[in-house]
Amino acid sequence: MLLILIFVKLAAACIPTQFVTPLNPGTITTTTTISAPTTTVPITTTNPVSTTTTTTTTTTEAPTTTTTVVPIPCNICTSPYNAGCQGMGVPSPTDWCAISGSFPIMFRRYPEETTADAQCVITFSCPAGTAAYLLTIVGELPANFGGTGTFSADCWDTGNFNTPGVWTYYFFAYGAAYDFSQIRCKNM
């Protein structure tokens, strides 16, 4: 019987959860707020003894696209490239055109010196996935070879050969040159 009493007394003494007091009687509340698209994340810790608020702000700049537009060395002829093009998918996924300056467009004046019969020439290749389309009096037409490859058109900057300031392109498929007012690299 003595052995049973010793065993019960030892068992009662080994329970570790009796009379446990908390180390810190205060309350700890953590609030984390994350909201998009802002980048401020406040973290607040509350304790009855002190209050600490930490605010971290990270600023991320949006990526930028640099476009370079080559100046036109011509006097009367202006760039025929459509200035309203907004890039891939805009205004819609099925009807968009490449932004001028996002691909090389070269202008050249022949002869370079001022003469009575100067001609301005535009030369470029549309970016992949697009083709050159010209806005003519009969509507929008694809350039030669489906608008792919290198495109070149001319405009009389001075002289009597054609109307100065009007861009002209020779269409192989039609066997004729057409005046055009705009060109764009349109999605295919």
- Cα separation, 136 vs 28, in Å, equals 74
- Considering only CA atoms, which of 62, 44, 61 is closest in space to residue 53? 44
Strands 150-156 and 167-171: antiparallel
User: What per-residue confidence (pLDDT) applies to 51?
Assistant: 52
User: What per-residue confidence (pLDDT) applies to 54?
Assistant: 54
Determine the 3-state secondary structure of 183 from DSSP.
strand
Rounded average pLDDT per 10-residue block, the chain, 188 residues = 48 50 43 41 50 54 52 87 94 93 90 72 94 94 90 85 86 89 95
Burial 67-81, CB ≥16 within 10 A → b, else e: eeeeebebeebebbb
User: What per-residue confidence (pLDDT) applies to 113?
Assistant: 63
Determine the 3-state secondary structure of 2 from DSSP.
helix
Token pair 């998918």 is at which residue? 89
The domains of the chain are located at 27-57, 91-187
